[in-house]
């Protein structure tokens, strides 16, 4: 077993901590602010983030794997960290298709974890993901690809809030005349969904969805939704009483009238 030191804790960013763990040949799970990286012998084998759909959410809506086949693989192979192997061995998915989809999900999740690179939170030596090893990727390749994606998205539209905030259409935004993928993306923008939720609804990779959403933002068709209004709070008046908001005052008057009957 490779001995893992605590040197990674001295690093100021998750990517730097990953570099240290890679140099040590570490195996385990490194948690950051927006996701978890799973390592095996210093190489990345999986990344997950709440900001991206998991592999099942990509494979089942697209029809690549039927839902019952996916959950059968999870039930039978999850505890042994062999879900990927179960999908392939059962004939439900070709090995090449699994590898392509897995790498896409890995790099999408890594973008959210590393594009806004903050200090890593925790490392769990020996921890493995339930999917199991499909293909490993060098840490420096993951970091480099994340930087490339961030630079491309920023060239399209430089506001990173598009990536994580609930999104809304601007007034009179229409899909007519837009490229097909961009138009489909716009139809899913409802003032509530985030980019990850839109990607799940479309059964599409998150990064591709981000590209379309930033292009829509650059065209003035999409923007982060305004925050929900804070609940009203009664405020004291100069005479020492309390000013009620109109709805509360009305309810109190109704209550008093009913009690007087």
The three-state DSSP-derived secondary structure of 117-139 is: CCCCCEEEECCCCCCCCCCCEEH
Which tops the pLDDT comparison, 91 or 244?
91
Q: Which of 43-47, 120-124, 156-160, 239-243 has the lowest mean pLDDT?
A: 239-243
pLDDT confidence of residue 241: 46
Averaged pLDDT of the chain:
86
Number of CB atoms found within 10 A of residue 227's CB: 8
Distance CA 226, CA 245 (A): 22
pTM of the model: 0.81
pLDDT confidence of residue 37: 97
**Three-class SS state of 178:** coil
- Which is nearest to 9 in space by CA: 121, 115, 113, 114? 121
pLDDT of 245 over the 80 cut:
no
CB 210 within 8 A of CB 153: yes
- Segments making up each domain of the chain, as ranges: 7-146, 161-221
pLDDT confidence of residue 89: 87
Per-residue pLDDT tens over the stretch 58-103: 888 877 888 888 888 999 888 888 898 888 988 888 999 999 999 9
Which tops the pLDDT comparison, 246 or 69?
69
Per-residue pLDDT tens over the stretch 184-239: 999 999 999 999 999 988 888 899 999 999 999 999 999 999 887 766 655 555 55
Q: Which of 7-11, 142-146, 149-153, 225-229 has the lowest mean pLDDT?
A: 225-229
**Strands of the chain, DSSP E:** 28-32, 35-40, 43-48, 122-125, 137-138, 167-169, 222-224, 235-236, 242-243
CB 206 within 8 A of CB 58: no
pLDDT confidence of residue 184: 94
Mean pLDDT over residues 44-71, rounded? 87
């Amino acid at each position: 077993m490779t001995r893992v030191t605590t040197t990674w804790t001295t690093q100021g960013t998750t990517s730097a901590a990953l570099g240290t763990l890679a140099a040590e040949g570490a195996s385990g799970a490194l948690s950051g602010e927006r996701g978890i990286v799973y390592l095996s012998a210093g190489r990345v084998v999986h990344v997950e983030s709440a900001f991206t759909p998991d592999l099942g959410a990509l494979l089942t809506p697209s029809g690549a794997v039927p839902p019952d086949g996916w959950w059968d693989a999870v039930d039978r192979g999850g505890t042994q960290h062999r879900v990927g192997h179960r999908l392939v061995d059962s004939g439900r998915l070709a090995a090449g298709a699994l590898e392509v989809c897995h790498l896409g999900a890995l790099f999408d999740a890594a973008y959210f974890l590393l594009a806004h690179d903050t200090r890593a939170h925790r490392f769990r030596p020996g921890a493995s993901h339930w999917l199991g090893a499909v293909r490993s990727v060098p840490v420096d390749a993951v970091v480099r690809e994340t930087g490339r994606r961030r630079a491309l998205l920023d060239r399209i539209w430089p506001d990173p809030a598009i990536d994580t905030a609930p999104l809304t259409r601007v007034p009179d935004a229409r899909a007519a005349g837009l490229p097909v993928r961009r138009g489909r993306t716009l139809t899913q923008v409802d003032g509530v969904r985030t980019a990850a939720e839109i990607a799940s609804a479309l059964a599409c990779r998150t990064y591709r969805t981000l590209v379309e959403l930033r292009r829509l933002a650059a065209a003035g068709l999409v923007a982060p939704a305004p925050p929900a209004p804070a609940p009203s709070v009664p405020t004291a008046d100069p005479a020492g009483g309390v000013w009620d908001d109109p709805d509360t005052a009305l309810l109190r008057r109704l209550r008093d009238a009913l009690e007087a009957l």
